[in-house]
Amino acid sequence: MPIINFFFSAALCWPLVLSTFSHYSFLHLAANMYVLHSFSEGTVAALGKEQFVGLYMAAGCISSLTSLLYKSVFGVSGLSLGASGAIMAIIGYVCTAYPDTDMSLIFLPFVHFKAHHAIKAIMTLDAAGILFKWQFFDHAAHLGGAIVGIGWYYYGNYYIWQNRKYVVQAWHDFRSSFD
């Protein structure tokens, strides 16, 4: 199958969405849900429920696609499961919208840092993970999700959310050009 047909086939849409809700283990699920819960209340308050779900779902699909493209291009093996990419979008949004927020780590609560430092550190580690092909985490999905969250802060509300009917129509037109 030619690679272009693989990426635009009709069957690829559902795995991109469903992989966001699949996890390796209960610990993987619990860790993702803890982090999502930690960041979701402020994000829902800032965006509203509908836009939060829009950001989460879009980031889940885009981060899954980022992971798939990375693994395909660089020949990296492994599954791409979990909500980490979508959660990274939420973290990216929060850290960009509220850069001076104090944060700490659950296991080191006495260590405090600003949100803008946190997102820079996370993205740097994920970029290093991509360059060195570390496989413990899906660094491509994390980085893709963080970029979506930061992009949503700067462009999402106006260019995507307020004009979503045009974005959806453009997507349908784009997809139909391959039929």
Tell me the catalytic residues. Answer: 84, 142
Which of 119, 125, 128, 132 is closest to 92 using CA atoms? 119
Residues facing 103 on adjacent strands: 113
DSSP 8-state secondary structure symbol assigned to residue 77: -
Q: Let me know how long the chain is.
A: 179
Question: How do 102-104 and 112-114 pair as beta strands?
Answer: antiparallel
Residue 98: exposure state from Cβ atoms within 10 A (0-12, 13-18, ≥19):
middle
Residues 6+ apart with CB under 8 A from 111: 104, 105
DSSP 8-state secondary structure symbol assigned to residue 159: I
Please give the backbone phi and psi of residue 113, each rounded to the nearest 5 degrees, phi first: -155, 165
Helix (H, G, I), strand (E, B) or coil at 51: helix
Helix 49-74 vs helix 84-97: angle between axes, to the nearest 10 degrees? 120
